[in-house]
Structure 1
Amino acid sequence: MKALSVAKTFASGLVATAIGGFMVLPGGAAAAEKAPSFTGQAVAAGLTSAQATWLQSEVDRTMARTGGTQIAPNRIQLEGAVVNIALPGEQQPRTFGTAAAACSNSTAPYGYFCAYKNVNYTGSYIAMYRCGKYKLPGWVNNGSYLNNQTPGTRGFFLNQYDVLYEGSSAPDSGNPYNWNPIWSIVPC
C-alpha cells in the first residue's frame, strides 16, 4: 500500500510532510494541525484579551461538565443541543459573526426547550432541540426556562442522583427557576 505524502511549508520556514493524516515535522515528531484559535477569533471580534481568556476558560469548564465540541468562541455543540456562553454583565451571548442561535433574544423557537442561567431569560443558555439528557454546567441560584416544544411534551428536571425533581409540560416557562437542585434536563 502506498502512503500519500504531501509537503507543506510553514511560516517559520519548516517543511512538514503529511502522511496518513498526521504532520510529520523534521526530526520525526508527529503533530496534528492545530484547530483555529477561538481566543484569537474573540479578540479579533472586539473582546479584550482578558475577556477572551475568561471566555475560553468558561468554555473549557463548561465542556468538562457537559461534553461537546467547541464550534465558536462562546458556543459548544452537543448532540441535540447547543450551549451559548454570555460574558459577565451581558444579557445575551454574542454571535461572533455567526447567525444568532436558537433561544437568543429571550425566545424559544417552536420545538425547543431553552434553559437560561439567569432570570428573565438572559445570560448563558442551552438550546435543546432533541430528546436526550443534558447536564447543566453547574448553574446555581435563580435562572429561567422556556419550554416551547409540541404542546403536552413533558420535560424533566433531574437532581444530582438522576432522580426526577420536577417536570414541565409544553408550553411552559419558569422565571425565576432555582437551578441549585437541578443537575440535568431531559427535554422530552
Structure 2
Amino acid sequence: MEICQIEKITDCKHVNLFSIQYRDRAKNIKNWVFASRSQDPDPLNQEKVGVDAVVVVPFHRQAEKLVIIKEFRVALGGWQYGFPAGLVDKGETIVQAGERELLEETGLAITRVLKKSPAIYSSSGLTDETISLLFVECEGTPSNEFNEMSEDIEVILLSRDAAKGLISKPGLKFDVKSWMVLSMFADYGIIS
C-alpha cells in the first residue's frame, strides 16, 4: 500500500474532507475520501501531536450510577446515547478538557481520574480523528444550565439494571464506545 497524493477538499473550522489517492497491494490506483480535524493541506505527512477530543466516562460515586447523556446529533437526525465529549482546546490537557466538557454538558465536577487512554482512533475508516477516553468519578447535581445553545442534551444516571435495559431496547442509537462501556457496566459493574 502506498499513498500517492492527497488533496484538501474543504476549508472548514472544525472538520475538513480530504481526497486521497493510493496504490493497493495489486498496484491498482484507488481513491478514498476521509474527514480530518486538521487544517493542514496534507495531514498524513504531519507528526500528530496531542489528541483531538476527549470522551468522559463519569461514575457518580454518591449515586453509585454511571452518567450518560442523550444528545441530539445532527448527522444522525435524532437522539444518540453517549458520554460527555468535546474537542481539546489548544494548550489544554486531556483532564482539563474533560473537566470543562463534563461541567458544560452535565453540570457535574470530576473528583478523581480513574484512567486515561492514549490517543485512539474513533472511526479509522472515515477519519484520522484521535480521542482519549477519560474514566472519572464525579459529584454534583446534574444540570443543563451550562449547555451551549447548539447542544440539546439530557443527563441520565444509570444503575447496572437500567444500563442493561437501555442497551437491550431496539431502535436506540448509541455511540460505539458508549455501548461497549454500558455493556461492561451492565454485565460486570465495571467502567474501566
Q: TM-score, length-normalised on structure 2?
A: 0.27
**In proportion to residue count, which structure has more helix?**
2
